[in-house]
Amino acid sequence: MTRLGFKKFYIQGGDWGSTTGSAMATLYPEDVLGYHTNMAITQGKQGGFKTMLGAFFPSLVVESHLADRMYPLSDFFAYLMEEFGYFHIQATKPDTVGVALTDSPSGLLAYILEKYSTNTNRNHRKLPDGGLERRFTKTQLIDNLMVYWSTNRITTSIRLYAEDLSTKNRQLEIDDYTTPVPTWAFQAKYEGVYQPPSILKTKYINLLGTTVLEDGGHFLAFELPEIFVKDVFKAVDEFKNWHKNESKNSELASDKRAEKTFLIHNGFQLAGSIYRMAKILLGLFVIVVTYICWSAFSSGSSQPPKLDPEEWWGPKELKGKQDTSIRPFQVKFTDEMIKDLRSRLKNHRQFVPPLEGVAFEYGFNSKAIEPWLKYWAEEYPFKEREAFLNKYPHFKTNIQGLDIHFVRVKPQVPAGVEIVPLLLLHGWPGSVREFYEAIPILTKQQPGYNFAFELVVPSLPGYGFSDAPVRPGVAPGQIAVIFKNLMSRLGFKKFYIQGGDWGSAVASALTVLYPEDILGHHNNFAMARNKQAAFKTILGAFIPSLVVECHLASRLYPLSSMFAYLLEETGYAHIQATKPDTVGVSLTDSPSGLLAYILEKFSTWTNLENKLKPDGGLELRFTKEQLIDNLMIYWTTNCITTSMRLYAEETSNKNRQLSLDSHTTTVPTWAFQTKSEMIYQPPSILKTKYLNFLGTTVLEDGGHFLALELPQIYANDVFKAKAANEQREYRDVQRHGHQQYQRNRRLTAFEIVISSLLERP
């Protein structure tokens, strides 16, 4: 504005324009004549306090007829969780998601226009067409898309989310400073966040007024231009009148305001310290009281739910007509597919250069993409890898309306060697390919053991070569039923299971739903998600020695570090749990985007320090062939969208009401815990879920994709777990009435604390 010759000026902004306008009003109060915003928000401490106060006494904070715009807070937080997955991933991995959006106009359209649907009116989610043309024309929306597409600015635009949440920016604490600039708020009915004047005035001390609209959404100037413009004129008139009234004492008022701002900021710093301490103490108190209430008053069933073993997940018109035979199957890379793939890889758009000095901290570094794309298009031996993927016998059979794909490998062992059935379960973004290096080890008798495994390795429904459900509802519990039916069809009444990632969740569900049929459970992503586990985790934050061995405490504590890590690394899960079909469009259309999206996980989940390497450290543990093999399974089957829907099913109300995680299991369990796995829980916590917990292998190496990273170590541990199971007569537990009683009843918080004290790790 200075270059244009404007020393003083007015500001209007919404969305990031609102944030920028607020910062300008704070930093340059003498130069900003007035600030009109259609996304008025303050994130200061006083505003936060008043928001919480209003949750208990709304009338102290907001007018009664507007209270439902911000309360109950549970509805507000649910809305944020559902609609802010894009924010989460853009604030943590903008360069990863940016690759696909840069390369795919279809994906860019879906990603941006979905916001013009739901951010204009939340009820548009229920409309088949998203209600896009109720307020906008196609031309208007495509005009906006063309600005992003023609300038190749989608990646750089979403980096702003990462910058806003950076440590450097947060340390500025601009939101904690007040501003004397006269302000006017225009508040549409369907704006994402509503704050009443009593809260806004904690930031904007000269809030002259608000216009509360019973219409409109986030893109107000675009949606209702005449109403928007009238309000801007109205606000500017108010600003001018305010300046006339203030002009006589402007110099004195300026000094007082500066002094007040300084005092307020320093007061906030002191108050912030007290506030943080109070939060810790209050949090502990609330956790203890809440848990006692859960223990005393929750009335959950001691028996797990019964899921329908014949629930139909395929097309309704095919019910009763399915072929239930077991059919051989082969992986095929057709010439047509290969030609199309190579064309897409070679003709991708130019990617945005990474920021200076940045490796993988913003996601997949675009400089590291080119060698991978060149290899995939020009050097990857498609036909050789097709033959490699077919080296083991593949089959399909229809279970509950879905053609389920699986690999079955029988061991060749001498007479007298026990053959043990083992169900191997993969996760996301993996596939059956993860197990290829471990299969020959598992199916061969190993020194010191008189058994080998017969392997059944299925593709999860919606993954790889397995059909995807045609209707919502298939979460880990339902997949467990499908795989139990698969094993029964193959003639295995009882069997062992091994899983990681989603395979871990499905395996855990199998142990809960079919404890009599699961002989043992080996897990390399072991987790207990129940009340007792949560209580012990919080308890250990204050007294770690009650929960975890000293030399392993850093894997779990401090909780602040764990939560910071999860916040940084789970943006993908957030958007996949809320908008899988939106992000799926670009990943379906762009092999470059698919590569960046998936391989970034093979980088950071293998070792978090790989983020600091320009190439992501991908070839420190994997070969290009291994990783592209896995990508080919996603690309050839067009399953990336259906694979991501599993996150939405897991977090659905229907699935959460099953509460499978709250039920214990008597199936003997062994945990394999690598150094760089995302989540670590010690035995004292895992035992709240797995009552016959045989032990753990704690590895000072490895990450999330254990079977692919360290196949020999992985396979050795599976053998070790099976042997440990043989040595323990776990079924004795079922023959003791007192132990059965102890298993079925709920422990009190006091008993859990005493148990922790007596059973130190």
Q: How far apart are CA 97 and CA 102, in angstroms?
A: 9
The answer to whether residue 109 is domain-embedded is: yes
Cα 733 to Cα 338, 509, 693, distances in angstroms: 56, 20, 12
Note whether residue 128 is domain-resident: yes
464 with 322, same domain: the answer is yes
Q: Is residue 548 part of a domain?
A: no
The alpha carbon dihedral of 160, 164, 168, 169 has a sign of positive
CA angle 239, 241, 243 (to 5 degrees): 70
Amino acid 247: pLDDT: 76
Question: Which secondary structure element, helix H or strand E, spans residue 724, and what is its range?
Answer: helix 711-727
At residue 250, the pLDDT reads 57
Looking at the structure, tell me whether residues 64 and 150 fall in a common domain.
yes
**324 and 182: one domain?**
no
Q: Do 325 and 231 lie in a common domain?
A: no
In a domain, 539, yes or no: no
Task: Give the C-alpha separation, 371 to 378, whole Å.
Answer: 10
The pLDDT score that the predictor gives to residue 278 is 46
H or E stretch including 521?
A: strand 518-523
Q: How far is CA 233 from CA 13, 21, 228, in A?
A: 14, 17, 9
Phi-psi region of 398 (alpha: psi -120 to 50; beta: other; left: phi over 0): beta
Instruction: Please give the tally of structural domains in the chain.
Output: 2
Is the residue at 579 inside a domain?
Answer: no
Does 182 lie in the same domain as 38? yes
Which of 661, 704, 714, 717 is an active site residue?
A: 704
The domain that contains 187 carries what CATH number? Answer: 3.40.50.1820
68 is known as an active-site residue: no
Exactly one of 176, 501, 661, 717 is catalytic; which is it? 501
The residues facing 212 across adjacent strands are: 187
Q: Which residue has the tokens 């990617």?
A: 351
What is the rounded radius of gyration, in angstroms, for the C-alpha atoms of the chain? 29
Kindly give the parts of the chain with pLDDT less than 70.
248-301, 728-761
Q: Is residue 403 part of a domain?
A: yes
Q: Domain for residue 338, yes or no? A: no
3-state SS, residue 696: strand
383 to each of 327, 331, 513, 676, how far by Cα in Å? 23, 10, 42, 34
Rounded distance between C-alpha atoms, residue 55 and residue 48, angstroms: 11
- Asked whether residue 240 falls in the same domain as residue 325, the answer is no
Regarding whether 321 and 184 lie in a shared domain, the answer is no
- Catalytic, out of 647, 680, 690, 714: 647
Q: Which tokens go with 499? A: 């899983």
Do residue 97 and residue 222 come from a single domain? yes
The pLDDT, as a whole number, for residue 246 is 85
Please state the separation of Cα 137 from the chain's center in Å: 33
Q: What is the 3-state secondary structure (H, E, C) of 120-172?
A: CCHHHHHCCCCCHHHCCCHHHHHHHHHHHHHHCCHHHHHHHHHHHCCHHHHCC
Distances (CA, A) of 418 to 498, 531, 720, 747: 18, 40, 15, 40
Q: Is residue 495 part of a domain?
A: yes
**pLDDT tens string 495-515:** 999 999 999 999 999 999 999
Q: In which domain, by residue range, is 401 found?
A: 317-330+392-528+664-735
pLDDT for 274 equals 42
pLDDT score recorded for residue 249: 64
pLDDT in tens, 215-260: 999 999 999 999 999 999 999 999 999 999 987 665 554 444 444 4
Same domain, 101 and 194: yes
Question: What does the DSSP assignment read for 589-604?
Answer: H-HHHHHHHHHHHHHH
Q: What is the pLDDT of residue 732?
A: 52
- Asked if 186 and 322 sit in the same domain, the reply is no
**How far is 115 from 63, CA to CA, in rounded Å?**
29
Query: How far from each other are the two terminal CA atoms of the chain, in whole angstroms?
Result: 64
46: nearest Cα among 262, 265, 283: 265
In the annotation, is 335 catalytic? no
323 annotated active-site: no
